[in-house]
C-alpha cells in the first residue's frame, strides 16, 4: 500500500485531496502547518476534524517564524497584498518533504488546483515551487493531475492516473459538488482565510514593517484591537470588545504593561516598548478615549506590569485630539 503525506489547510481543496487519496487506498498522513496569519478557530480545528473523519493521523507544526521571514524578505515577491505565496508554498513543501522522509512515506500530495490563484497556482509557478522545494518527482496534485505532466507515482502504476481529477480555475462549483457527493464536511472558507491577503490587516502590517521585521509575538498582536504607535519603539493596543481584551491579555509578554479602569469599566490597553511617564500617560489617555469615561475631564487609570499583581495608578487628564489619534494609529 503506498504511503503519502498530504498538506492540509482546513480548506475545501486539501480536504478533497485527502479524501481522494484515502479512497485510492493510499495510507494517508495529514500535515497541517500552523502560523500567526491564519484565522483561528477555538476548539477542534478543521484539520483535526478532517483527520478524524478520514481516520488518518495528523501532524501539526508551527511555521510562523519561517513565514514571517518570507513576509519581510520574500525571495519571489508579494502577491496583491503582503502574501508571499510562492515562498510560502516552497516553505510548506520543504517541511512536507522532511516529514515525508521522517515517516517513510512515498510521496507528498496537496490540494493545489491549476490556475486557481493568480500568484502561486498557474502552471509556471507550480513548476517553480516544485523545483525550489526539491520535491520534483515526489509531489502529486491529485485535483489537477490529469492536466499536468504524469508524475513517477502515476507512471509507475503506484497511483491510477485515471482516478485522479482535472480541476482548474477559480470556480469552486465542482469542488462543492464533490464535497456533497463524498460527504466531505469539514472545510473553511476559500483561501483559508490567510490574513496576508486581507487588505486591512496588510495595511497595519505594512506600517509595522516600515520599522523592521516584527517578532512573531508582535505580528500575532496585530490581529486584535486598535494599534497606536507612541514612539519609534513603543505601541499601545486597545481592545475593541471583551473578546479582543481576552486575546490581547493572552498575547502579552514579559515587560508589557496592562492599563485598565475599574470604574467606569473600559478597554484593556497593552503598552509594549518604552515604559516612560509620557508613554504611560498617552496609553492612559487612550484607555479613557475608548472607554465609558471618554467625555470626562480626567480618569484614574490603573496599570500593572504583565505577570505582577502590583497595581499603580495614573491620572488621564484631558483628551487626545482626533488629529493626534490619526497620527499615532497604525
CA 19 – CA 109 distance, rounded (Å): 11
Phi, psi of 304 (to 5 degrees): -150, 145
Tell me whether residue 83 or residue 279 sits nearer to ligand SF4 (CB atom).
83
Dig out the grid coordinates for 201 from the structure.
490587516
Phi, psi of 27, deg, nearest 5: -80, 105
Cβ at position 88, least distance to ligand SF4 in Å? 3
Note whether 148 and 141 are within 8 A (CB): yes
Least gap, CB of 118 to ligand SF4 (angstroms): 11
Provide the sign of the torsion angle of the four alpha carbons 15, 16, 22, 27, taken in this order.
negative
Q: Which CB atom, from 92 or from 105, has the smaller least distance to ligand SF4?
A: 92
Applying CB under 6 A, which residues contact ligand SF4?
A: 83-85, 88-89, 120, 192, 194, 196-197
Q: How far is the CB of 50 from ligand SF4 (least distance, A)?
A: 17
Rounded to a whole number of angstroms, the minimum distance from the CB of residue 228 to ligand SF4 is 27
d(CA 101, CA 105): 6
Residue closer to ligand SF4, measured from CB, 7 or 236: 7
Q: CB of 270 within 8 A of CB of 248?
A: yes
Q: With respect to ligand SF4, which residue has the nearer C-beta, 89 or 186?
A: 89
Strands 234-238 and 298-305: unpaired
Q: Of the two residues 71 and 280, which places its CB atom closer to ligand SF4 in the complex?
A: 71
Q: Is omega for the bond preceding 85 within 30 degrees of 0, making it cis? A: no
Q: CA-based diameter of the chain, in Å?
A: 78
Task: State which residue, 192 or 266, has the beta carbon closest to ligand SF4.
Answer: 192
Query: What is the C-alpha separation between 27 and 243, in angstroms, rounded?
Result: 41
Extended strands (E) in the chain: 3-7, 27-34, 58-62, 107-109, 139-140, 226-231, 234-238, 257-260, 269-272, 298-305, 312-317
Nine cell digits for residue 237: 493596543
Q: Exposed, middle or buried, 10 (CB in 10 Å: 0-12/13-18/19+)?
A: buried
Closest CB 291 distance from ligand SF4, rounded Å: 35
CB of 167 to ligand SF4, least distance (A): 18
Q: Element (H or E) spanning 313, and its range?
A: strand 312-317
Alpha-carbon span 24 to 111, nearest angstrom = 15
Which one, 202 or 279, has the nearer CB to ligand SF4? 202
Cβ–Cβ under 8 Å, residues 248 and 224: yes
Which residue's CB is nearer to ligand SF4, number 67 or number 314? 67
Tell me how far, at minimum, the Cβ of 183 lies from ligand SF4, in Å: 26
Shortest reach from residue 101's CB to ligand SF4, in Å: 23
Amino acid at each position: 500500500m503506498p504511503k503519502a503525506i498530504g498538506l492540509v489547510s482546513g480548506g475545501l481543496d486539501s480536504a478533497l485531496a485527502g479524501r481522494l487519496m484515502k479512497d485510492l487506498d493510499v495510507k494517508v498522513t495529514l500535515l497541517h502547518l500552523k502560523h500567526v496569519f491564519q484565522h483561528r478557530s477555538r476548539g477542534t480545528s478543521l484539520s483535526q476534524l478532517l483527520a478524524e473523519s478520514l481516520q488518518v493521523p495528523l501532524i501539526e507544526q508551527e511555521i510562523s517564524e519561517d513565514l514571517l521571514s518570507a513576509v519581510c524578505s520574500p525571495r519571489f515577491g508579494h502577491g496583491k497584498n503582503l502574501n508571499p505565496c510562492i515562498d510560502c508554498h516552497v516553505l510548506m513543501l520543504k517541511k512536507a518533504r522532511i516529514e515525508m522522509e521522517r515517516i517513510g512515506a512515498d510521496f507528498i500530495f496537496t490540494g493545489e488546483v491549476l490556475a486557481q490563484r493568480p500568484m502561486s497556482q498557474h502552471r509556471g509557478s507550480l513548476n517553480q515551487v516544485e523545483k525550489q522545494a526539491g520535491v520534483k518527482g515526489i509531489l502529486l496534485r491529485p485535483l489537477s493531475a490529469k492536466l499536468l505532466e504524469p508524475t513517477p507515482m502515476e507512471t509507475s502504476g503506484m497511483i491510477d492516473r485515471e482516478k485522479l481529477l482535472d480541476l482548474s480555475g477559480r470556480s469552486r462549483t465542482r469542488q462543492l459538488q464533490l464535497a456533497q457527493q463524498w460527504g466531505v464536511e469539514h472545510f473553511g472558507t476559500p483561501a483559508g482565510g490567510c490574513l496576508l491577503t486581507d487588505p486591512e490587516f496588510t495595511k497595519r502590517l505594512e506600517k509595522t514593517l516600515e520599522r523592521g521585521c516584527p517578532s512573531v509575538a508582535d505580528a500575532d498582536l496585530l490581529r486584535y484591537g486598535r494599534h497606536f504607535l507612541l514612539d519609534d519603539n513603543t505601541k499601545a493596543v486597545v481592545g475593541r470588545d471583551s473578546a479582543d481584551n481576552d486575546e490581547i491579555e493572552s498575547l502579552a509578554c514579559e515587560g508589557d504593561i496592562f492599563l485598565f479602569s475599574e470604574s467606569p469599566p473600559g478597554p484593556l490597553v497593552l503598552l509594549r516598548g518604552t515604559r516612560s511617564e509620557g508613554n504611560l500617560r498617552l496609553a492612559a489617555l487612550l484607555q479613557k478615549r475608548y472607554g465609558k469615561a471618554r467625555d470626562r475631564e480626567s480618569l484614574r487609570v490603573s496599570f500593572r506590569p504583565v505577570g505582577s499583581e502590583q497595581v499603580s495608578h495614573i491620572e488621564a487628564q484631558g483628551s487626545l485630539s482626533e488629529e493626534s489619534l490619526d497620527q499615532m494609529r497604525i
